[in-house]
Amino acid sequence: MTEFADAAPRLRVLNALTNEEHPCQALADCLTLQETWGSLRGRTIAFVGDGNNVATSLAQAAVMLGAHVRIASPVGYELPGRVVDAIAGIARAGGSVELVADPSAGVRNADAVYTDVWTSMGQEEEADRRLEIFAPYQVNSVLMSQARANALFMHCLPAHRGQEVTAEVIDSATSVIFDQAENRLHVQKALLAMLARS
């Protein structure tokens, strides 16, 4: 994507999704949280699972808005150190990022709990191994009970019920997954409108 943008400097290039980052999703996530809370400042957002593109962009956006982001991943699947350092460097208003291996420690007293699929596109050959490794990271009612009362549940969709999240959590009253999905439309329209005016 960077090469494309460099080759066509007069064009506006948006990162809708790469293996490394998913900024349009993060904008929708932060809009959803702002609609619910008013501000992310001082809030704790737990991401449970693979330290992937969604975790990266969520942390990037949320720390700039003053949130504490705690990412719980199995050893070997956490965000790379250089990514964590870069995220820490853009934190504002007390925002921070922390990596933990224990999912319970990750969600403790969190205001929102976020997860994503365990096997992304292009990783299908690893699916069986990932199912075994990530099983302790399933977001279920026991794990959610360690977050704050009425903590929000978030997922970028599509979800695999019974894998990374159970039906009772994804269908709960505190699940904001459909608000996130709707807000993807709104933030991407806003991005296009902004770029059309610049």
**Sole residue written with tokens 């007293």:** 109
Asked if residues 117 and 141 have their Cβ atoms less than 8 Å apart, the reply is no
Is the predicted pLDDT of residue 96 greater than 80, yes or no? Answer: yes
Cα distance between residue 83 and residue 99, in whole Å: 11
Where do the domains of the chain lie?
A: 2-197
Is the predicted pLDDT of residue 42 greater than 90, yes or no? Answer: yes
Q: How confident is the model at residue 1 (pLDDT cuts 50, 70, 90)?
A: low
pLDDT reported for residue 28: 98
Asked if residues 156 and 163 have their Cβ atoms less than 8 Å apart, the reply is no
pLDDT reported for residue 26: 98
CATH, domain 2-197, list 3.40.50.1370, 3.40.50.720, 1.20.1260.10, 3.50.50.60: 3.40.50.1370
Cα distance between residue 51 and residue 84, in whole Å: 10
Cα distance between residue 46 and residue 164, in whole Å: 14
Is the predicted pLDDT of residue 5 greater than 80, yes or no? Answer: no
Tens digits of residue pLDDT in 154-197: 999 999 999 999 999 999 999 999 999 999 999 999 999 998 88
Supply the mean pLDDT for the chain: 95
- Of 6-20, 41-55, 102-116, the one with minimum mean pLDDT is 6-20
pLDDT reported for residue 75: 97
Sorted by sequence, the CB contacts under 8 Å of residue 117 that are 6+ apart come out as 50, 158, 159, 160, 163, 164
pLDDT reported for residue 154: 99
pTM: predicted TM-score of the whole model, two decimal places: 0.95
Q: How confident is the model at residue 10 (pLDDT cuts 50, 70, 90)?
A: confident
Amino acid at 194: M
pLDDT reported for residue 185: 97
DSSP-assigned letters across all residues of 159-191: --BTTTB-HHHHTSTTB-HHHHHHHHHHHHHHH
DSSP state of 80: P
Tens digits of residue pLDDT in 57-83: 999 999 999 999 999 999 999 999 999
Buried b (16+ CB within 10 A) or exposed e, 113-136: bbbbbbbeeeeeeeeeebeebbee
Q: Roughly what angle, to the nearest 10 degrees, separates helices 81-90 and 53-64?
A: 20
